[in-house]
């Protein structure tokens, strides 16, 4: 997906993301603000605040009797948090990118089943994996893969952390920092 990919959201989550883009574009136009719209694809890593797939599977591997998942056939372009942060800094420091829309991603989209295997291998746990139909998102896009050509061209950005290494660092961080994501500390668990 490049920046010109059709924007036809079919979920409230996708509508909210597009609304934020449109709001930013309008503020840039009306108030002459130096806005750059950044579209990072599935950032993961340290200090996660919501029960997304990677942190939730790590938590379940270490704390639950079984691992409950939704659709393991969907695929996502996961970008390590350090790469996403570096992209944002480059965009803020770069002249001439005002009003641009820029995607950030690896260009690779492993299936959720592959990511689950990487996490299980790294943690070295054997647990039952249960497909929980309450975790299925019926209007979700099955495959999201970023085309970050524009980010490389305008900012010289490309991802540096491979998925396996990023997951290893994320698991190590979790295990060395009290085994609690921010959402766990606040009592937010997957309830839908």
Cα 110 to Cα 1, 57, 153, 162, 171, distances in angstroms: 15, 15, 25, 12, 18
DSSP string, 18-58: HHHHHHHHHHHHHH-----EEEE-SEE-TT--S--HHHHHH
CA–centroid distance for 168 within its chain: 16
**95's tokens:** 């002249």
Question: How far apart are the C-alpha atoms of 44 and 64, rounded to whole Å?
Answer: 21
Question: How far apart are the C-alpha atoms of 67 and 126, rounded to whole Å?
Answer: 10
Bridge partners, 129 (sequence order): 67
Task: Please indicate whether residue 13 is annotated as part of the active site.
Answer: yes
CB contact at 8 A, 102 and 39: yes
Could you list the active site residues?
13
């Amino acid at each position: 997906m490049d920046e010109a990919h059709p924007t036809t959201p079919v979920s409230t989550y996708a509508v909210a993301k597009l609304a934020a883009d449109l709001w930013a574009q309008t503020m840039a136009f009306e108030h002459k603000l130096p806005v750059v719209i950044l579209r990072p694809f599935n950032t993961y890593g340290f200090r996660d605040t919501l029960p997304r797939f990677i942190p939730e599977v790590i938590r379940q591997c270490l704390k639950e009797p079984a691992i409950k998942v939704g659709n393991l056939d969907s695929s996502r372009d996961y970008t390590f948090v350090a790469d996403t942060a570096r992209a944002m800094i480059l965009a803020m420091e770069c002249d001439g990118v005002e009003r641009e829309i820029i995607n950030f991603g690896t260009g690779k989209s492993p299936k959720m089943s592959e990511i689950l295997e990487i996490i299980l291998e790294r943690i070295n746990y054997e647990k039952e994996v249960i497909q929980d139909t309450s975790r299925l998102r019926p209007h979700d896009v099955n495959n999201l893969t970023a085309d970050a050509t524009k980010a490389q061209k305008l900012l010289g950005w490309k991802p540096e952390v491979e998925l396996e290494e990023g997951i290893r660092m994320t698991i190590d961080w979790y295990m060395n920092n009290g085994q609690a994501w921010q959402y766990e500390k606040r009592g937010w668990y997957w309830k839908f």
